[in-house]
């Protein structure tokens, strides 16, 4: 599934075309029920495919390898964001067709529409070109959800980068050398969905410490030499948190999740579901619930790694 990223733009353009045609047909009243059905299918199908991608080996266990092209090492891009974009477009199209009079909506409903559209805009770059790293002799280009971080080698500090999940975290010697375009709140965390993050971090650390090897970046021979060099370095046992810390993380996550849900229900009973303040509480509670759920998942994964 990871190598289907080459079709991401085609999928996104096709999805946009179908949504536009369905919305136009629905607004003209020609085949409104059929248009709604098409949008429902277009919303549900990418979600099913997106869930399926998480079961593929290339997503669960990304390879410890780069794609070699145009004098650079690149982390393969995934099609996941294109699937998210098509589903999001289908949902926005449904909102348009199921709303008879936007002006008559409550302030809360109007805010929901605005937030839903704004959230789509935030990750349009990721849908179009994916997220990942491009490593060259000059430095690193990191394409993120809504921006790009360009890191020259001189900016990277002596502390080795850390690779976890799908992220590489850098330590900068001179942050002023780092250039950012678009919007990205964290320039230290770089995403690499299609390559093992630990391998990418080790490769960056190697080239940061060995400037004489950078000229060969972007060739198959250089990647073979990189692997040999990394294999020759004695593997350090990664610092891992104890079983008790992982259990505590799970407990804390569950507590915050329960508090978020209970607080949301309590505030809804007091303020009602139609008030703007109640809507804001829903939004905050949802964010806390997602963060808490991530803590639980992270804790469970940690326990499974230790068994």
Q: 0.85 cut: is pTM over it?
A: no
pLDDT at 98 (0 to 100): 82
Q: Percentage of residues in the chain with pLDDT exceeding 70?
A: 81
Mean pLDDT along residues 137-146? 93
Quick check: 269 pLDDT over 80? no
Q: Model confidence at 301, in pLDDT bands (50, 70, 90)?
A: low
Task: Point out the least confidently predicted range of 205-219, 226-240, 251-265.
Answer: 226-240
Query: What does the pLDDT average to over 272-285?
Result: 68
- What is the predicted pLDDT for the residue at 117? 84
pLDDT for residue 99: 80
> Residue 20: pLDDT band by 50, 70, 90 thresholds?
very high
| pLDDT tens digits along 95-140 | 888 887 666 766 667 777 787 888 888 888 888 888 999 999 999 9
pLDDT digit string, tens, across residues 173-218: 999 999 999 888 888 899 888 888 999 999 999 999 999 999 999 9
Instruction: Pick the more confident residue, 194 or 237.
Output: 194
Higher pLDDT, 10 or 300: 10
Residue 54: predicted pLDDT: 65
Supply the pLDDT for residue 276: 64
Give the pLDDT score at 298.
Answer: 66
Least confident of 98-102, 147-151, 205-209, 276-280: 276-280
In the prediction, which pLDDT does 28 show?
Answer: 84
pLDDT higher than threshold 80 for residue 232: no
Residue 19 has pLDDT above 70, yes or no: yes
Question: What is the predicted pLDDT for the residue at 140?
Answer: 96
- What percent of the chain shows pLDDT beyond 90? 30
pLDDT score, position 40:
92
For 18-42, what is the mean pLDDT?
88
The mean of the pLDDT values for the chain is 82
pLDDT at 3 exceeding the cut of 50: no
pLDDT for 2: 46
- State yes or no: pLDDT of 281 exceeds 60: yes
pLDDT of residue 156: 94
**Three state DSSP letters for the chain:** CHHHHHHHHHHHHHHHHHHHHHHHHHHCCCCHHHHHHHHHHHHHHHHHHHHHHCCCHHHHCCCCCCEEECCEEECCCCCHHHHHHHHHHHHHHHHHHCCCCHHHCCHHHHHHHHHHHHHHHHCHHHHHHCCEEEECCCEEEEECCCEEEEEEHHHECCCCCEEECCEEECCECCHHHCEEEECCCCCCEEECCCCCHHHHHHHHHHHHHCHHHHHHCCCHHHHHHHHHHHHHCCCCCCCCCCHHHHHHHHHHHHHHHHHHHHHHHHHHHHHCCCCHHHHHHHHHHHHHHHHHHHHHHHHHHHHHHHC
């Amino acid at each position: 599934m990871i190598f289907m990223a080459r079709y991401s733009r085609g999928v996104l353009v096709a999805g946009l075309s179908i949504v536009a045609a369905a919305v136009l047909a629905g607004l003209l009243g020609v085949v409104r029920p059929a248009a709604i059905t098409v949008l429902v299918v277009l919303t549900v199908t990418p979600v099913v495919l997106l869930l399926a991608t998480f079961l593929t080996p290339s997503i669960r266990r990304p390879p410890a390898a780069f794609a070699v092209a145009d004098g650079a090492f690149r982390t393969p891009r995934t099609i996941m964001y294109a699937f998210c974009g098509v589903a999001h477009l289908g949902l926005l199209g449904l909102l348009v067709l199921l709303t008879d009079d936007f002006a008559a909506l409550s302030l809360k409903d109007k805010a929901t529409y605005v937030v839903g559209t704004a959230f789509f805009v935030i990750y349009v770059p990721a849908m179009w070109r994916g997220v990942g790293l491009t490593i060259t002799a000059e430095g690193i280009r990191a394409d993120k959800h809504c921006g790009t971080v360009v890191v020259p080698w001189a900016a990277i500090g002596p502390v080795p980068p850390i690779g976890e999940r799908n992220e590489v975290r850098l330590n900068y010697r001179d942050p002023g050398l780092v250039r950012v375009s678009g919007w990205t709140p964290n320039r230290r965390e770089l995403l690499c969905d299609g390559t093992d993050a630990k391998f990418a971090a080790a490769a960056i650390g190697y080239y940061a410490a060995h400037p004489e090897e950078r000229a060969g970046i972007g060739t198959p021979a250089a990647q073979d030499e990189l692997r040999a060099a990394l294999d020759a370095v004695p593997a350090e046992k990664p610092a891992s948190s104890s079983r008790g810390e992982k259990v505590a993380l799970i407990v804390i996550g569950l507590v915050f999740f329960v508090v978020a849900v209970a607080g949301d229900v309590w505030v809804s009973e007091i303020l009602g579901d139609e008030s703007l303040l109640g809507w804001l509480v829903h939004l905050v509670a949802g964010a806390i619930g997602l963060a808490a759920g991530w803590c639980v998942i992270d804790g469970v994964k940690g326990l499974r790694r230790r068994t």
